[in-house]
Amino acid sequence: MSSITWGGAALDRARTRHLLQEYGVYAALVLLFAVAVVLNTSFLSIGNIRAQLLQVTPVLVVALGMALVIGTEGIDLSVGAVIALAAAVAPLYLGYGFVGMLAVVLLVGAVSGALGGAMVAFVRVQPIVATLSLMIGLRGLANIINGNSGKPVTDGAVATLGIGNFLGVPVMTWVAAGCVALVALLVRRTTFGRQLVAIGDNRQASRLAGLPVRRVLVTVYVISGVLAALAGLMLVGYSAESDPSTVGLNYELSAITAVVVGGTPLTGGRVRVLGTVAGALFMQLIAAVLQQHNVYQSYQQIIEAVIICFAVYAAQERGTR
Amino acid sequence: MSPTALQPTALPPEPSPAPGPGPAPTPLSEQLAYQLQRRGAPAVLVLVAAIASITSSAFPTWGNISTILVGNNFVWLLALGMTFVIITGGIDLSVGSMYALGGVLGAYGAQHGGSALAIVLPLVVGAAWGGVQGLLVARARMAPFIVTLAGLLGARGLMQALSNEGATTYIVPKNSFFASLGAGTWVPLVILAVFFALGALLLARTRFGATLTAMGGNENAAVLMGLPVVRAKVLVYLLSGTLAAAAGALGAARLQSGVTTIGVGYELTAIASVVIGGTLLTGGSGSVGGTLSGVLLLGVIHNLIDSHFSQYGSAFTDTVNGGFLAAVVLLQTLLSRTQQLP
Amino acid sequence: MVQQDPAARSDRVLEVVGVSKSFAGVHALRGVDFELRPGEVHALIGENGAGKSTLIKVVTGVYRPDAGRIRFSGEERHFGNPLEAQAAGLSTIYQEVNLVPLMSVARNLYLGREPRRFGLVDVRRMNREAAETLARYGVEVDVTRPLRTLGLGAQQMVALARAVQIEARVVIMDEPTSSLEPREVATLFSVIRELKRQSIAVVYVSHRLDELYEICDRVTVMRDGEIVHTGEMARLERLRLISLMLGREMSSVRDKGSTAFDTARHRQREGVPALRAQGLAVRHRLHDVSLEIHPGEVVGLGGLLGAGRSETAKAVVGALPTEAGTVEVAGRPLRRRSPAAAIRAGVVMLPEDRKVEGIIPNLSVRENISLAALPRLSRACLVSRTRQDEIVDFFIQRLRIKTSGPDQKVSDLSGGNQQKVMLARWLCLNPEVLLLDEPTRGIDVGAKAEVQALIDELARDGLAVLLISSDLEELIEGANRVVVLKDGRVVGELEGEGVSEQRLLDALATAPSHPEDAEYAEYAAPEHEEQPGPEEQSGPEGHKDRKEHRE
């Protein structure tokens, strides 16, 4: 390596890279938003913004949990299936009132997460495999519970969560904002959050520093499961039906994309909550702009794929290349 | 000691080591673990098939068995390609999309250019797509799962673009050579058999196969031994992409059209079959024969569920698949721990 | 001193002339000359950090030397990587067996050059030939079994057979016997003698003195990146060998050394010991190790590389699973054995390998200092920023940690300051017992003195300290008492006036070895000689290392 001869250039490159990693997603978001508005001023209409928020909010909620999991150098592929399971369970417990149903649904999410987390923390199965088996199995279970068909869900409270407004902003977005605040607080200010990041950065040193590694790992997957279940409820409310064979499909993908585009490295040791929000918004904005300009879904997918690759590549640390 | 042993002159006079440690007795639990790892899937397969044959008169008929064998529209080839990838310690999530893309390409080629194009087009595109993924993994050192996740999205996008967002379904002309590849029972069976036989040879009896296994077991060591690790890594994703596209094309030949809604989640079944077949998800150990038992086992179970629990349909199969996968992975992890004790 | 011969001579198969290598300003090798004759077994010895590994890595092409020349078979060669070196006939057998554990024994022997028929691997021939080859190395096993089902010794033999088969002219063995049983060692030696007969030169890296004297013809001793002695093995006395390694001349034991320790400190040894460990046993590594440390006492742990010093500290805090033994803290037994439980009881350990086991590289100085104390700084799980800052600021000032601020990434600090951050992490817990594993390794002189003075101060304040150090002077002047370990056993204890370099060297040289423990392996503390200074971790290697170790 001839870093001495072009030392200046290397330094500049490192700086650029650092800036890109830190602020790239915000800049891209603002830029894209400006482009969207310039191309089509009706993009700013209340109706459109509301529609976009309704679409992105469940993804964002799932992505928050995913960001925590990725922060521990893990991955949770089961979130889409947990959404389906939550959707399947919800109609069964509507008789207990909204709060009772909510409690049961979140508990289902927590148990699913705990299963994956226990496999990761105690049996030391790779996260991708542990959650893959849950991904396959839980969706099947959800379908069995629902008898392989969609069920209409007409409960008022669930519908409010799905499509209701409060102060002109969708209720689910308020809920998601609350989640963002909580997770941000969790990561930045709590013992648990700091331990999580330390474990993701250097697990061995964390163990020797006396951190409760297993407990933190299990908890992280539980949180991811609970957030996914919450997102499942939002989706049920939004579509007014519970169809486990389609609901939450590919959400693990969208969530991972949001986290990765938001600049959280897949190698753990860092959780970017606001970055994840920006990543989710960015991906939604891309989809919306392309859709409004009649770019086919096919090309949207290809563009998304390129963005994922680029984001991961950009977020990779120099040392690992 | 064998006659080729060291000359006594080379031995020190005093300590005079006992002739070779000899085969140290392997603990029973370790042997059991090892055998379970290697032969668990075939054993369970035989067991399940035997029970099914005894309890149901419909199961052991040729009609039913041939349904199991060819009813999968060549999806088993995805598991074959996945075996190679997983043995290197990687994963290929794009095969389901590639299967759909291969099908549309094959049907497109058959409709517009004849059988030759129908065969060549999917293979070339599959190889190119897999090759790019391989380069990203091997050269840019990106995580396989994220690269192939993007590949999953991209390939599906490409397929939809090709089919005008699923609006156009290309039809494979009947009576063409291409259509005959998927027709009936025997031709598909022979094709599958040939692919699996070639795959088994490639993995077990070539230096390339040895390289794949070695790099999955200990990549550092493989590099130090001078094995072409980077090249093998690119090639393995190329191989998986090609196989998936070929499987899709053959599937299209059998279904006589390029179905655009097909292939979602197939990568998961492929991974499950491979792992159930005894290939370690951490890489370094596995066999094509094991994968064959894995796909057959899932095929038989699928068949049984279809005939006994048809009211639950595919959901039940998914649950069983997931449960199986979790159980096998847990078992593997625990087994490998038994065997690794010094 | 080393003979410097500019001309390539036919009786040198490998010649290293004036090679230097430094990592970010820290010298790992300084003008090293080394030569190897065909058919000789050449011992290369030195303590941790002496530069053995760096020298091997420079020779085999892992590192490029900053200066100097390397001749191989009379030609000047600089290998680009170990592979090139291997192809040229320079094979290395690493301490951790570099084979593929899940593949069969025969496969491992022939990977990359399997015999083929009609383009396919001729498995039957491969297995037959593998069995024949291995029989010559005393390994008679079913070669179709996975390698990992073999004992470590047999695996080592497979690695050796593989290395020799590739027409090696030089074989470098890095700690080849660390995992062998005595019988296997005997087989290895007969193989080495066979290699000698074939004029293959062997570089033998080991810290087992008995073996060195048995098998080696010549010896090179390294210390601090320099060659301090080269000569006939048989002519070098054991005591002298040890003093060369440790850098102490027998005649030059001074009254007052250059460390910052206050030698005239009062000692107290009454009442309940702060830490009492009894009969600690860790599989293959420790056998019945007992220790007592009283409040206000600094107990040194002496021993050569691989004696089990780090393992003792790790076993005490529960970082290594113990097979037997008890630990009592201030008279109360420690029932649950884990680092977390030990910390709760007031026993903390500063690990030897700062990079892998100590710092959380991407977190700030503040977070690294307060990591272990987080639960105590929190109310209702929320970290109190004020209390955190209070503590962090206090320790940054008290330990004089040079940092641009508590928000600086800890991996951007110098090694000495990282070490102080690690110390601060433990001190803010107000521990009762402090286990320090090489607290001053790889840090600059100034920081070293500060850390030493701090240890004194802490002991005066009533802390019980266990001090592990390869720096003999530090050990002698810093400790009230020195417990000497060898092969995972306590072989002596020096106390009071008996704590002297002379006595320590004697204890190390004369203690009986335990051949039945020859299987002892130092997995837990692989040599990290290539890290002369933490500054190096800014390089790409550093990061990669860390990732590998986490696996």
> H-helix or E-strand containing C494?
strand C489-495
Q: Which of B301, B274, B329 is nearest to B77 (CA)?
A: B274
Q: Which residues on chain A are in Cβ contact (under 8 Å) with C374?
A: 191, 194-195
Element (H, E) at C16: strand C14-23
Q: Confidence class of residue A242 from pLDDT cuts 50, 70 and 90?
A: confident
Task: Give helix A79-89 / helix A213-239 axis angle, nearest 10°.
Answer: 60
Least confident of A56-65, B329-338, C27-36, C295-304: B329-338
SS3 B18: coil
The count of CB pairs under 8 A between chains A and B is 146
Q: List the single residue in C with minimal CA-CA distance to B202.
A: C120
The reported pLDDT for the residue numbered A261 is 87
Q: Does A12 touch chain C (CB under 8 A)?
A: no
Distance from CA of A128 to the nearest CA of B (A): 9
C-alpha C276/C-alpha C332 separation (Å) is: 9
* Strand partners of residue C464: C433
Work out the minimum CA distance from C40 to partner chain B, whole angstroms.
15
Chain A positions touching B319 (Cβ under 8 A) are 137, 140-141, 143-144
Which residues of C are less than 8 Å from A317 in CB distance?
543
The string of pLDDT tens digits covering residues C487-500 is 888 888 888 777 77
Chains touching chain C through at least 3 C-beta pairs below 8 angstroms are A, B
Q: How far is CA B175 from the centre of its chain?
A: 31
| Identity of the residue in B17, B201, B210 whose CB atom sits nearest the CB atom of C186 | B17
**In terms of DSSP H, where are the helices of C172-303?**
182-197, 209-215, 238-246
Average pLDDT, chain B: 82
| In the block, residue with structure tokens 């290895």 | C188
Compute the distance between CA of residue C251 and CA of residue C246 in angstroms, rounded to an integer: 14
Average pLDDT of the residues in C90-116 = 84
Bridge partners of C15, per DSSP, are C35, C71
> What mean pLDDT comes out for the span B62-89?
89
**What are the angstrom distances between the C-alpha of A277 and each of A180, B44, B155, C300?**
8, 47, 27, 53
pLDDT over 70 at C286, yes or no:
yes
Confidence tier at A5 by pLDDT (50, 70, 90): very low
Split at pLDDT 50, 70, 90, the class of C262 is: low
The per-residue pLDDT for C270 is 66
Q: What is the mean pLDDT of chain A?
A: 85
Contact C392, C366 (CB under 8 A): yes
SS (H, E, C) chain A: CCCCCCHHHHHHHHHHHHHHHHHHHHHHHHHHHHHHHHHCHHHHCHHHHHHHHHHHHHHHHHHHHHHHHHHCCCCCCCHHHHHHHHHHHHHHHHHHHHHHHHHHHHHHHHHHHHHHHHHHHCCCCCHHHHHHHHHHHHHHHHHHHCCCCCEECCCHHHHHHHHCEECCEEHHHHHHHHHHHHHHHHHHHEHHHHHHHHHHHCHHHHHHCCCCHHHHHHHHHHHHHHHHHHHHHHHHHHHCEECCCCCCCCHHHHHHHHHHHCCCCCCCCCCCHHHHHHHHHHHHHHHHHHHHCCCCHHHHHHHHHHHHHHHHHHHCCHHHC
What's the pLDDT at A277?
Answer: 94
Q: What is the dihedral of CA B268, B270, B272, B273, to 10 degrees?
A: 160
Confidence of residue C379 (pLDDT cuts 50, 70, 90): confident
Band of residue A246 on the pLDDT scale cut at 50, 70, 90: confident
More confident residue, C284 or C171: C171
Instruction: State the smallest CA–CA distance between residue C424 and chain A in angstroms.
Output: 12
Between residues 287 and 326 of chain B, which touch chain A (CB distance below 8 Å)? Answer: 311-323, 325-326
* pLDDT band of A154, cuts 50, 70, 90: confident
Interchain proximity C372–A189, CB inside 8 Å: no
The backbone region for C216, taken as left when phi is positive above 0, alpha when psi lies in -120 to 50, beta otherwise, is: beta
Instruction: State chain A's maximal CA–CA distance in angstroms.
Output: 73
Output DSSP code: residue C169.
S
Is a pLDDT exceeding 60 seen at residue A85? Answer: yes
Is the pLDDT at C519 greater than 70? The verdict is no
Cα separations (Å) of B62 from B181, B190, B293, C313, C505? 21, 16, 19, 68, 82
Confidence class for position B198, pLDDT limits 50, 70, 90: very high
Identity of the residue numbered B232: A
The answer to whether C114 contacts B5, with C-beta atoms less than 8 Å apart, is: no
Query: Looking at residue C523, what is its pLDDT?
Result: 34
- C258 CA: distance to closest CA in chain A (Å): 32
In sequence order, what are the residues at sequence separation of 6 or more whose Cβ sits closer than 8 angstroms to the Cβ of residue A259?
A63, A66, A67, A70, A276, A279
Question: For residue A112, what pLDDT is reported?
Answer: 94
8 Å CB contact between A177 and C350 = no
Contacts of A75 in chain B (CB under 8 A): 145
d(CA A96, CA B42): 48
Element (H, E) at B213: helix B207-217
- pLDDT value for A164: 79
Buried residues in C148-160 as b, exposed as e (16+ CB within 10 A): bbbbbbbbbbbbb
Please, which residues 17-76 of chain A have a Cβ atom closer than 8 Å to chain B?
75
Cβ–Cβ contacts within 10 Å for residue B275, how many?
A: 28
Q: What is the distance between the alpha carbons of residues B175 and B115, in angstroms, rounded to a whole number?
A: 11
Nearest to A304 among B91, B143, B153 (CB): B153
Q: Is A182 exposed, middle or buried (0-12, 13-18, 19+ CB in 10 A)?
A: middle
- Give the span between the Cα atoms of C534 and C410, in whole angstroms: 11
Return the residue of A nearest to B311 by Cα: A147
Residue A259's closest CA among A18, A21, A65?
A: A65
| C371 and A CB contact within 8 Å | yes
- Asked if the Cβ–Cβ distance from C111 to B222 is below 8 Å, we say yes
In angstroms, the separation between the Cα of residue C527 and the nearest Cα of chain B is: 18
**Mean pLDDT for the stretch of residues C1-25:** 69
First to last CA, chain A: 13
A3 at interface of C, judged by CB pairs closer than 8 A: no
Contact (CB<8Å) B318/A140:
yes
Contact A209 C362 (CB under 8 A): no
Distance, C-alpha B244 to centroid of its chain: 10
User: CB-based contact (8 Å) between C115 and chain B?
Assistant: no
More confident residue, C189 or A163: C189
**Helix or strand or coil: residue C347?**
strand
A263 within 8 A of A271, measured Cβ to Cβ: no
pLDDT of residue C149: 79
In this prediction, residues B107-131 reach a mean pLDDT of 92
Residues B72-106: b if buried by 16+ CB within 10 A, e if exposed: bbbbbbbbbbbbbbbbbbbbbbbbbbbbbbbbbbb
CA-based radius of gyration for chain C: 25
Residue with tokens 């928020």: A53
The answer to whether C333 touches A175, Cβ cutoff 8 Å, is no
Q: B288-308 vs B28-55: helix axis angle to the nearest 10?
A: 40
Check residue A60 and give its pLDDT.
95
Q: Is the model's pLDDT at A64 over the cut of 90? A: yes
Q: How many residues does chain B have?
A: 342
Max Cα distance, chain C (Å): 81
User: Mutate which of A145, A309, A313, A321 to disrupt the B interface (most B C-beta within 10 Å)?
Assistant: A309
Q: Say whether C544 and A319 touch across the interface (CB within 8 A).
A: yes
* C547/A270 CB distance under 8 A: no
Return the pLDDT at B26.
55
Mean pLDDT across B156-164: 89
Which has more confidence, A14 or C453?
Answer: C453
Q: Which residues of B195-219 are buried (b: 16+ CB within 10 A; e: fewer)?
A: bbeebbebbbbbbbbbbbbbbbbbb
pLDDT at C25: 65
Rounded Cα gap, residues C89 and C200, in angstroms = 10
Does any CB of chain B come closer than 8 Å to the CB of residue A15?
A: no
The pLDDT tens digits of the residues spanning B249-285 come to 999 998 888 888 888 888 888 988 898 888 888 888 8
Residue B45: enclosing H or E segment and its boundaries?
helix B28-55
Instruction: Give the residue on A whose Cα is nearest the Cα of C317.
Output: A208
Q: Is C174 helix (H, G, I), strand (E, B) or coil?
A: strand
Could you tell me how many CB contacts below 8 A there are between chain A and chain C? 89
Mean pLDDT, range A281-305, rounded to an integer? 85
Nearest CA in chain A to C549: A204
Cβ A304–B143 below 8 Å, yes or no? no
pLDDT of residue C512: 61
More confident position, C105 or C242? C105
Higher pLDDT, C264 or C354: C354
Distance CA C258, CA C29 (A): 24
Q: Return the structure tokens found at C487.
A: 């092969």
How far, in Å, are B183, B199, B305 from residue B75 at the CA level?
Answer: 15, 15, 19
Scan residues 264-293 of C and list those with Cβ closer than 8 Å to B: 283-284
Half-sphere exposure of A63 (CA within 13 A, CB side): 33
Residue type, B84: F
Report the gap between the CA of C49 and the closest CA in chain A (Å).
Answer: 22
Distances (CA, A) of B149 to A307, B25, C407: 12, 45, 36
Work out the pLDDT band at C249, boundaries 50, 70, 90.
low
Window 409-428 of C, Cβ < 8 Å to B: none
**How many residues are present in chain A?**
321
The residue among C536 and B107 whose pLDDT is bigger is B107
Greater confidence (C178 vs C297) lies with C297
Residue A86 has pLDDT above 80, yes or no: yes
> In which residue are the tokens 């997460």 written?
A113
Question: HSE-up of A239 (CA within 13 Å, CB side)?
Answer: 18
Contact C360 A211 (CB under 8 A): no
Residue C353 has pLDDT above 50, yes or no: yes
pLDDT value of position B88: 94
pLDDT at B246 over 60: yes
- How much of chain B, in percent, has pLDDT values that exceed 90? 35
User: HSE (CB half, 13 Å, CA atoms) of C179?
Assistant: 20
Question: How far is the alpha carbon of C262 from chain B, nearest alpha carbon, in Å?
Answer: 46
Compute how many other C-beta atoms are within 10 angstroms of the C-beta atom of residue C57.
Answer: 20
Calculate what percentage of chain A has a pLDDT beyond 70: 95
Confidence of residue A63 (pLDDT cuts 50, 70, 90): very high
Q: Does B222 touch chain C (CB under 8 A)?
A: yes
* pLDDT on residue C22: 83
The answer, for C340 touching chain A at a CB cutoff of 8 Å, is: yes
Query: Cα angle at A10 between A8 and A12, to 5 degrees?
Result: 70
Residues of chain A numbered 121-150 and touching chain C (CB < 8 Å): none
pLDDT confidence of residue C435: 92
